[in-house]
Structure 1
Amino acid sequence: MPPGPRLPAVVQTLLWAVAPVKFGKACMRRYGSLFTVRILGFGEVVYICAPTGIRRILRDDAGNFDAAAANESIRFVVGGYSLLMADGAAHTSRRKALTRPLHGDNVAAYVEVMVSIAEQEVRRWRAGHRVRLLGSFQRVTLEVMIRAVFGITGSARLSRLRELVPRLLDLDPVIILLPSARRDFGGFGPWAGFQRLLREVDRIIYAEIADRRAQLTADPASAGGDVLSILLGRGQDRENITDTELRDHLVTLLAVGQETTATQLAWFFERVLRAPGALQRVRAAVDGEDWKVLDAAIHEAIRTRPATLDIGRIAVRPWEYGGYLFPAGTMFAVSLGLLHSSSELHPEPEIYSIERFFPAEPPSAHFLPFGGGSHRCLGASLAMVEMRTIISTILRHVRLELAATAPERVMAKGPMLVPRRGAEVVVTENHLLSGATPAGPVRE
């Protein structure tokens, strides 16, 4: 195996769980772009941080690797029919089913709902008050998922999901890393509590599926443009789609999309507000509807402060790279976060600069915000439209200042890398509360 830290596995696991960015960067500085760490629950994990190795795993030699097996630790959340738990033909089929509702006109149709939800949240912000943007964006992105993507509008179900989903996604790392901890212990402990939450969330989702099936059977023309309605419409032509499959698709979208987008939005404002001239440039882009500049600003925020660090893959046959012959069963961490922080690829990587992505973008191999290959994030289009819309809506209505001069430190919260203080800002003006009329919504 490639070299790596000699610390005991328990110490490496602690560093990996508590300070993954610092730990990863320290290893990369000492051992280069190919190194091995030891993580309890996973064993030896080989980190790959160079463009050539990442391209080979995600694209050129993708058939040598199993993405689903690397996600096995979250099967108990997303379910066996999740896109994350599939490879080969099953993955292709499930991805095809989800492509239509998550791209093109369907995503554009969600914009008005996104604007309405963002404005509703902004009305809570009073001039002179401090706001932790991470919490605000978690509420906004959850509401977008429930209303625009799931299509759930019943007040009782909406209200209950608003309460349950944040608790469901706040997973105890112990039950992810240690399967032995997934025991009931007479109804006590983190696993028992998680199971109770999951059962109630599932009950709401299955009730919504049943109601929507009945509605579409009675009136096929009543189908909406949300993901669930589109999948159910597909199911009428394909009788083998099951409620369990639908449930797993919806929970996967929640687990992967909601928290990631909220975290990335929080980091966007934390970074832009600290970069001289960046805020003015982004405001001008929003006013002029120059989405290329806004996208460049979003991408640079993703590069400097990613919401997650790595993508897992497991070799299904021997694979040669970097002078090593890795046996089947080797687990790899494809570290996009470390790739994006490489000083060789991105000079002065800690500095936030929109110019890295505008007018010219870096080579595609140097920046992979949504992964690559056949397993590239299916919700990338939705995430970008959602971030453009929410950022534009906020900048049209409010003026924000930093609550503290020191940059916020990265804190690991499960798989998410969040701002330690929640991207805390001070609201200096709120035109929504003063009656000012903003410009129209962002367009895709």
Structure 2
Amino acid sequence: MTGLPPGPRLPALLQTVLWAAAPARFGKVCLRRYGPLFTTRILGFGTVVYISTPDGIRRILRDDADNFDAAAANESIRFVVGEHSLLMSDGPAHTDRRRALMRPLHGENVAAYVEVMVSIVEQEVRRWQEGATVRLLDCFQRVTIEVMIRAVFGITDSARLDRLRVLVPRLLDLNPLIILLPVMRRSFGGFGPWTAFQRILREVDEIIFAEIRERRAALAADPGRRGPDVLSHLLAGQDRVPATDREVRDHLVTLLAVGQETAATQLAWFFERVLRTPGALAQVRDAVRDEDWKVLDAAIHESIRVRPTTLDIGRIALGPWESDGYVFPAGTMFAVSLGLLHLSEDLHEDPETYSIERFHPVEPPSAHFLPFGGGNHRCLGASLAIVEMRTVISTILRHVRLGVRRAAPERVVPKGPMLVPRRGAEVVVVHNQLTAPSPGRR
């Protein structure tokens, strides 16, 4: 069949506005109206074919992956992550870079971060006064930034830590205009979003390069001083020729850009959903008490399914590709919509309802739930993300009892590339063991 699948006939500008203002709602409306394969027109990306069928996603991400360019689909963020980023590569270069990052993001190395994570969470929770309203998204952004720069980057210098705590949120709060419109990536007389972004990026890079130089010198003087963090492993270069300073910088910034905001947002959505589902909350509390990580992981997975932090990942066809009776020409941009896959009424009964039972005791088919993508480009930080979420959630629930600030659920709203709770996952602190006075002091 020639041509493209049906889709909204609205002008490209209006489609772009709807997509930018309410991407989840826009996608779900199109899914219901046109099915799991539809065509949109988005300024900055052009014609985009959405696909959310299990078979189509499997073929693009795994079976026919060699016919799709992942790096070109990520071109709009090259100016952030750098040319050596895992996101900007395919083929042998991608395999090489992935191997360099594999070891420090799996197994014993991830387990080594747990103690630091617990201390970071407890430090944050001590700020929460009983009876106070807390925006969990803000709290988790502080926590995940701290985990990233202390546990993953391994930075301990107090001055650098203090400065990164200020700079990183500003760096990641990207103005969407400089992503969507390349024409905006220029200085307008020293003003504008591009100039502001470049100023922040330069300072972050200066800190990272200074850390790399010092750590390289320390390792050269004493190879036994290598820590468990990602930076130490990259500098040691056990799996390959040691990386250059620029390669190391690009890897670290990629982990920061992809992992920090996603983890914080998903944690906020977890509590927003679970606190409004009393049966699930009781299950999660029991799981934390009994250290039943299968139940807790099921609860985490269901929060990822019902409230994805992003909807799509991009791929560009390198050659003609056939699916569902259509022959797509080379150069077709696909939005592989894992978010719409997870919210499909055909695959998940009552998909908007939060239910741990979807994942425990029996998990859904793997093709119906792909929280970290698939194939060679599956998220490398998946293990770290699950361990971080499990640690943050269990630490909080051991010390604190939380309640919802309002009965009504929080709406999904876009913040840059993220889909966040409209009020930042507001909760009320009912009881906090870490701040409550001892009986003798009452």
TM-score range, shorter chain: over 0.9
SS of equivalent to 2:363:
coil
Q: Does 2:16 match 1:6? A: no
- Cross-structure match for 1:441: none
Matched, 1:413 2:394: no
SS at match of 1:6: coil
- Give the CA deviation at 1:435: 6.7
Paired letter, 1:255: A
Q: Which residue of 1 aligns with 2:361?
A: 359
1:442 alignment partner in structure 2: none
Structure 2 partner of 1:192: 195
How big is the alpha-carbon RMSD for the aligned residues of Structure 1 and Structure 2? 1.0
Shift, 1:235, TM fit: 6.7
* SS in structure 2 at match of 1:151: coil
For 1:303 and 1:106, the matched residues in 2 are separated by 27
Which runs of 5 or more residues in structure 1 are unaligned?
437-444
Partners of 1:236 and 1:410 in 2: CA distance: 42
Q: Which amino acid aligns with 1:194?
A: F
User: 1:87 matched to which residue of 2?
Assistant: 90
Q: What SS does the aligned partner of 2:189 have? A: helix
The alpha carbon displacement at 1:236 in A equals 10
SS of aligned partner of 2:237: helix
Is the partner of 1:106 in helix, strand or coil?
A: helix
Which residue does the alignment assign to 1:96? 99
TM-aligned CA deviation for residue 115 of structure 1: 0.2
State the secondary structure of the residue aligned to 1:145.
helix
Residues 290-317 of structure 1: CA distance to partner in whole angstroms, max 9, x if unpaired?
0000000000000000111101000000
C-alpha deviations, 1:323-376, integer Å up to 9, x for none? 111011000000000000001100000110000000000000000000001100
Amino acid at match of 2:41: R
Match of 1:287 among 289, 297, 300: 289
Tell me which residue corresponds to 1:17.
20
Quote the residue 1:440 is aligned against: none
Alignment-mate amino acid for residue 115 of structure 2: E
Letter of the 1:199 counterpart: R
Does the residue aligned with 1:277 lie in a helix, a strand or coil? Answer: helix
State the shift of 1:220 in Å. 1.0
Q: Which residue pairs with 2:396 in the alignment?
A: 394
Residues 75-113 of structure 1: CA distance to partner in whole angstroms, max 9, x if unpaired?
A: 000000000000000000000000000000000000000
Partner residue in 1 for 2:314: 312
Task: State the SS of the aligned residue for 1:125.
Answer: coil
Residue 136 to residue 99, structure 1, CA distance change in 2 (3 Å): same
Residue 252 of structure 1 aligns with which residue? 254
Aligned to 1:341: 343
Residue 414 of structure 2 aligns to a residue in which SS? Answer: strand
Letter in 2 for 1:406: A
Deviations 1:19-71 (A, max 9, x none): 00000000010000000000001100000011010011001111110000000
| 1:187 Cα offset (Å) | 1.1
Identical residues among aligned pairs (%) = 76
Give the TM-score of the pair, scaled to structure 2. Answer: 0.97
- 2:134 aligns to what? 131
Aligned length: 435
> Which residue type is aligned with residue 92 of structure 1?
T
- 1:227 and 2:230 matched: yes
Q: After the TM superposition, which parts of structure 1 deviate over 3 Å for at least 4 consecutive aligned residues?
A: none
| Aligned counterpart for 2:162 among listed residues 149, 159, 182 | 159
| 1:201 aligned residue | 204
Q: Partner of 1:277 in structure 2? A: 279
How much has 1:237 moved relative to structure 2?
6.8
Q: Is the 8 A contact 2:99 2:239 kept in 1?
A: no
Answering whether residue 413 of structure 2 is matched by residue 380 of structure 1, we say no
Give the one of 116, 129, 144 matched to 2:147: 144
Post-superposition Cα deviations, 1:118-164, rounded to whole Å, max 9, x if no partner, equal 00000000000000000000000000000000000100000000000
Tell me if 1:121 matches 2:111.
Answer: no
Distance in structure 2 (CA, Å) of the matches to 1:364 and 1:27: 24
> 2:130 touches 2:436 (CA, 8 Å); kept in 1?
no
What's the secondary structure of 1:270's corresponding residue?
helix
**Counterpart residue number, 1:425:** 427
Q: 2:379 is paired with a residue of what secondary structure?
A: coil
